[in-house]
């Protein structure tokens, strides 16, 4: 039945990787601020620790104005099976102890699927934030996580109309699907004014604006194959001839680069700036000021779209086609370095694009999600 004036409703949020927290933060803030008089929300935050960097943790939570997790599971790295199993094993007693009314899981990492599966087996309803995204490529572990999480979820919160169509095509009851917009953009809008990309660029020895490329690479398809990784190193060296390159190196990528001479080759190029992973505010500011972004990240495709920064996604598929049809993103096959360089040259020859926001990417997705939960008729589903 719908929640009533005296209802106390407990939401347990599960996040496992840094991008998850950018999506969790607006939902938690909206629930904390909820003043409709229909429900009082209690909230529990669980960090599975699937991705965890002790040196970056404090600054990251401070940047997002997000309280420390109530539970940290400390799962750490491992194979897909190991991570999924460890989250299941460690999350189950938390769910039993806290007895939430709803488990909210976000994104598409292994923690996302594990949280949904663990909750479903305990007969706890699941809400999936960022439901319905599909690349059509089942060799991506994230695609399997998306498909299965959506099948297990009671409430499915989508970021775009193509996600709604995907879910309809998979037979998901449309009454369970809610187009709410993109909570990651809520975080961009809330915190962008606090960024100082120009100062961050100067600290790193870069021109303050529009005169550098920003690169992120972490997907196994790009960094785990030695031949592909060598091609990408050559690509960055070629790109550096055109403009300076800022490359915050993901821990996974750094390990792969360090196994050979590739890291030394990049470090020897004065127009390539290698850094450790950056805090959210520094990264957002530097992305805002970039002339061009090269990435294999899903979230960066979305952020560059609303920032109006040209983005070349080094993949052959994307689960976020709206960033191409309504944004600044372009897919380029990373196995063809010449095509990537040509795409970069074409982009640099054009003026900066005008930022365009997809439907409902307006900074209020978190509030819409909480409004749906507050009005949710539990007996109807």
Residue numbers annotated as active site: 218
**The Cα angle at residue 58 between residues 60 and 245, in degrees rounded to 5:** 45
Asked if residues 225 and 63 have their Cβ atoms less than 8 Å apart, the reply is no
The pair of structure tokens assigned to 90 is 């460690």
Cβ atoms of 44 and 69 within 8 Å: the answer is: no
Both tokens of 225, joined, read: 């194959």
CA distances from 187 to 29, 159, 232 (A): 10, 14, 31
The rounded distance, in Å, linking the Cα atoms of 237 and 269 is 7
C-alpha separations of 294 from 87, 302, 333, 334 in Å: 32, 13, 12, 10
């Amino acid at each position: 039945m719908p929640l009533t004036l005296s209802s106390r409703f407990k939401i347990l949020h599960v996040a496992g990787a840094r991008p998850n927290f950018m999506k969790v933060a607006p939902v938690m803030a909206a629930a904390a601020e909820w003043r409709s008089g229909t429900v009082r929300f209690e909230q529990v935050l669980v960090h599975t620790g699937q991705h965890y960097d002790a040196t970056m943790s404090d600054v990251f939570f401070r940047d997002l104005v997000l309280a420390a997790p109530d539970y940290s599971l400390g799962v750490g790295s491992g194979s897909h099976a190991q991570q999924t199993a460890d989250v299941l094993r460690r999350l189950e007693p938390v769910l039993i102890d806290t007895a939430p009314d709803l488990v909210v899981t976000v994104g598409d990492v292994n923690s996302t699927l594990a949280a949904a599966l663990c909750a479903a087996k305990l007969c706890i309803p699941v809400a999936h934030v960022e439901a319905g995204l599909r690349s059509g490529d089942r060799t991506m572990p994230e695609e399997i996580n998306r498909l299965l999480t959506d099948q297990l979820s009671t409430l499915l919160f989508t970021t775009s109309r193509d996600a709604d169509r995907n879910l309809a095509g998979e037979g998901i009851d449309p009454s369970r699907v809610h187009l709410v917009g993109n909570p990651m953009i809520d975080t961009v809008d809330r915190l962008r004014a606090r960024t100082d990309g120009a100062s961050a660029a100067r600290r790193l020895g870069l021109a303050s604006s529009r005169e550098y490329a920003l690169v992120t690479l972490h997907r196994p398809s790009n960094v785990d194959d030695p031949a592909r990784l060598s091609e990408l190193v050559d690509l960055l060296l070629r790109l550096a001839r055109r403009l300076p390159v800022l490359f915050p190196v993901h821990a996974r990528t750094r390990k792969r680069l360090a196994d050979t001479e590739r890291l030394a080759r990049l470090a020897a190029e004065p127009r390539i700036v290698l850094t450790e992973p950056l805090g959210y505010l520094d990264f957002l500011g530097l992305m805002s000021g970039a002339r061009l972004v090269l990435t294999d990240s899903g979230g960066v495709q979305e952020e560059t779209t609303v920032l109006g920064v040209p983005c070349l996604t080094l993949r052959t598929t994307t689960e976020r086609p709206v960033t191409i049809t309504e944004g600044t993103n372009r897919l380029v096959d990373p196995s063809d370095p010449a095509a990537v360089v040509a795409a970069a040259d074409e982009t640099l020859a054009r003026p900066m694009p005008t930022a365009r926001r997809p439907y409902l990417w307006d900074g209020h997705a978190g509030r819409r999600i909480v409004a749906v939960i507050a009005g949710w008729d539990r007996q109807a589903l």
